[in-house]
């Protein structure tokens, strides 16, 4: 490999500070400057990478130290080859992770930055404080002295006086200020219960991203941010995960869109054919597909449309007679008998599993998952261990089929969402990230 691109990590003390706005604006500003920009997302988020793709016009990939071993992390990192600069977006707060070590770490953004050799740019919401924000920045700078700390971007600054006082505190603390963003109410991306809406649903995403880039260019020292980029040694060449079949019919529309980009890239790189189809448009999967895969998404927002999609349902049933079908989270729910939406309306689903789920009384399910398969599923034999992430608000009302796996959280505690298997059909509530190497 030639010289590996330098990079940096956009992180924050906590969620909700505006780092995604900064990330998208920076990606577009750097691209507009003529750079080939490689985005990454630290952690298991499967919504942000689609926004990164829209901003940088280059696929974004997740780096996850809890779920991924060193080999897979190297393989994902290698996707930056040919870029001029890497920009990673952290998840939650910079040092937030789980309590029990996973494949190569605890899942924090700080671990990702350390592994990649990326200096951290901390986005701090300074609303309601001035000089005191410097104490927060200083604490983050000193918490792990081995972590390179580039400086801060101040967000939601109320006035020139507020900016002057906050900068004074940062100067006293020895923290470099890379930019100062005035408070604006029109910069927040639309959200729903899983966080941001999907990129494909944004009413005018291109205009929003262009606005973020212009806002950053007016208020942030882009050249200084480019100058702080750095990186560790280039990763060893590795292959991404192999495909579970040769011809994969992949549901892809506003109801089904959450698949980790490194999996799809690995499938394509190994020669698999991805055959997209849309259940919302009442499309059946390709008849010559070897496997049908339904990703997660928001089927609960499209219950009546899916219930009326008879061509889709018949095509799924025909395929499942002889060949495998797998669904994740929303895809798993769509494979079930019925889905009850938040208003209590029951919608018929594919009926390939007996699963009945409901959003009428929302219950939050969030966290890493480690699963020991009790039956085979596409790409994995019975007994294999998988790692993934679960994030949904649905409640199981009926799950009559055989359990697919013993599923545990990050600390090894059992969780009740075991997934299901019936004939050639399997499903899980967690989104697959990787299978563990034996």
Chain-centroid distance of CA 343 in Å reads: 28
Cβ atoms of residues 170 and 137 within 8 Å: yes
| DSSP label of 300 | G
Cβ atoms of residues 62 and 43 within 8 Å: yes
DSSP string, 334-396: HHSSEEE-TTS-EEE---SS--EEE-SS---EEEEEEEEESS-BTTB-TT-EEEEEEEE--EE
Q: Is 86 a catalytic residue?
A: no
Taking the C-alpha atoms of residue 363 and residue 345, their distance in angstroms, rounded to an integer, is 17
**Nearest alpha-carbon partner for 216 in 179, 165, 170, 186:** 179
Tokens of 203: 């009413």
Tokens of 55: 């901003």
* CA dist list (Å): 157 to 15, 154, 163, 164, 427: 18, 7, 6, 10, 47
> Of how many residues is the chain composed?
438
DSSP string, 54-99: HHHSS--EEE-TTT--HHHHHHHHGGGTT-SEEEEE--SSTT---S
Q: Catalytic pick from 329, 350, 373, 407?
A: 329
> DSSP 3-state assignment of 405?
strand
Q: Which residues are catalytic?
A: 329
């Amino acid at each position: 490999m030639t010289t590996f691109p330098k990079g940096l990590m956009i992180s924050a003390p906590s969620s909700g500070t505006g780092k995604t706005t900064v990330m998208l604006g920076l990606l577009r500003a750097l691209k507009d400057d003529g750079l080939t920009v490689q985005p990454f997302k630290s952690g298991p988020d499967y919504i942000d990478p689609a926004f990164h793709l829209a901003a940088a016009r280059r696929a974004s990939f997740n780096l996850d130290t809890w779920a991924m071993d060193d080999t897979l992390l190297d393989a994902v990192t290698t996707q930056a080859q040919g870029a001029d600069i890497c920009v990673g977006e952290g998840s939650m707060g910079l040092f937030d992770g789980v309590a029990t070590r996973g494949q190569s770490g605890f899942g924090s953004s700080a671990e990702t930055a350390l592994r990649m050799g990326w200096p951290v740019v901390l986005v701090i919401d300074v609303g309601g404080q001035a000089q005191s924000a410097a104490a927060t920045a200083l604490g983050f700078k000193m918490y792990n002295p081995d972590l390179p700390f580039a400086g801060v971007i101040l967000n939601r600054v109320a006035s020139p006086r507020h900016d002057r006082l906050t900068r004074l505190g940062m100067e006293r603390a020895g923290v470099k200020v890379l930019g100062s963003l005035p408070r604006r109410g029109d910069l927040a991306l639309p959200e729903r219960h899983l966080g941001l809406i999907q990129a494909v649903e944004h009413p005018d995403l291109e205009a929003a991203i262009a606005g973020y880039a212009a806002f950053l260019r007016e208020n942030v020292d882009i050249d200084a941010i480019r100058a702080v980029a750095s990186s560790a040694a280039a990763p060893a060449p590795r292959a991404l995960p192999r495909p579970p079949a040769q011809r994969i019919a992949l549901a892809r529309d506003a109801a089904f869109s959450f698949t980790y980009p490194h999996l799809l890239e690995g499938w394509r790189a190994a020669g698999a054919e991805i055959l997209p189809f849309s259940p919302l448009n009442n499309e059946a999967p390709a008849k010559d597909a070897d496997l049908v895969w339904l990703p997660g998404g928001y089927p609960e927002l499209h219950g009546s449309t899916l219930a009326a999609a008879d061509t889709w349902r018949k095509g799924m049933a025909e395929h499942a007679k002889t060949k495998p079908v797998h669904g994740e989270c929303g895809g798993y729910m769509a494979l079930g008998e019925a889905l009850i939406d938040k208003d209590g309306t029951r919608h018929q689903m594919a009926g390939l599993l007996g699963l009945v789920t409901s959003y009428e009384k929302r219950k939050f399910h969030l966290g890493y998952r480690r699963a020991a398969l009790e039956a085979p599923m596409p790409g994995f034999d019975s007994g294999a261990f998988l790692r993934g992430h679960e994030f949904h608000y649905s409640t199981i009302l009926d799950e009559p089929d055989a359990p697919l796996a013993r599923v545990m959280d990050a600390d090894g505690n059992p969780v009740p969402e075991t997934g299901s298997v019936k004939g050639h059909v399997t499903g899980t509530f967690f989104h697959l990230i990787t299978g563990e190497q034996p």
